[in-house]
Amino acid sequence: MNVTDPSATGAASGQIHRPTSLAGDVYEAIFAQLMSLKIAPGARITVDSLVREFNVSQTPIREALGRLEGEGLVLKTHLIGYRAAPQITKRQLDEIYELRLRLEPYCAAKAAVRLDDTKLAMLREAAGMMVRREGKDERLRYSNFARQDADFHDKILACAENELIRQAIAFQHTHFHIFRLMFHSRVTEEALDEHEAILAAFAAADPAAAEEAMRVHIERSRDRLLSAFD
């Protein structure tokens, strides 16, 4: 399948045509393959093979891989090259969720009393509801929602005005690694419902409800992913 429009089919594999940002289109295509496990965790990623697959030069490939390296999805080893980051273990998953449950409900409560109309509108836009109307390409919808979910949570942490906590969560690259565990539409649909509950608490300026909605969301997210280790 050719990638002709990054907003419509940019997550599919195949040739990349040359519209606005070539490196951005290449990034979107590789990102989607990593998230949907078409590129398996730990698999070697060769620049030459991607050049042939997407019919582009090495420059946008290397730019895209550098960006993915910064997001923790790709690792680069000197004199060896690139490979997909290994899948997280159950112990790592448990530790990630322990960290999130300690920090994110608290930050949701803080954010609830700091939001104005502009920030609430920003969170509504970031919550990923548009994913429900993005068509039938499940891989595209899934990879888009993974990014939107990360952005939604990051913006809540920003609204809580604790940059140290925000950086601690971001440094773990938690969302992208978590979403690679289970490529399934159930993850997006149930998470979207939980995002709506968080937004409702924010709209009501109710810190206790926001804290509880975030706690429920994170606990259910953890529970959805446990089956990946069965």
Please, where are the H alpha helices in the chain? 22-35, 47-54, 58-70, 90-112, 117-126, 138-159, 163-171, 174-180, 185-203, 207-225
Q: Which of 92, 42, 73, 83 is nearest to 229 (CA)?
A: 92
pLDDT of residue 224 exceeding 90: no
Taking the C-alpha atoms of residue 94 and residue 111, their distance in angstroms, rounded to an integer, is 25
CATH class, range 22-84: mainly alpha
DSSP string, 185-223: HHHHHHHHHHHHHHHHHHHTT-HHHHHHHHHHHHHHHHH
Predicted confidence (pLDDT) per residue in 22-57, tens digit: 889 999 899 989 888 889 999 999 999 999 999 999
Give start-end residues of each CATH 1.20.120.530 domain in the chain.
Answer: 90-229
pLDDT of residue 135 exceeding 80: no
The per-residue pLDDT for 166 is 94
Max mean pLDDT among 136-140, 156-160, 225-229 falls in 156-160
pLDDT band at 190 (very low <50, low <70, confident <90, very high): confident
Both structure tokens of 48? 């030459």
pLDDT band at 209 (very low <50, low <70, confident <90, very high): very high
Mean pLDDT across the chain, nearest whole number? 85
90-229 has which CATH code? 1.20.120.530
Taking the C-alpha atoms of residue 91 and residue 225, their distance in angstroms, rounded to an integer, is 13
Give start-end residues of each CATH 1.10.10.10 domain in the chain.
Answer: 22-84
Q: Picking from 36-40, 66-70, 129-133, which range would have the lowest pLDDT averaged per residue?
A: 129-133
The per-residue pLDDT for 12 is 41
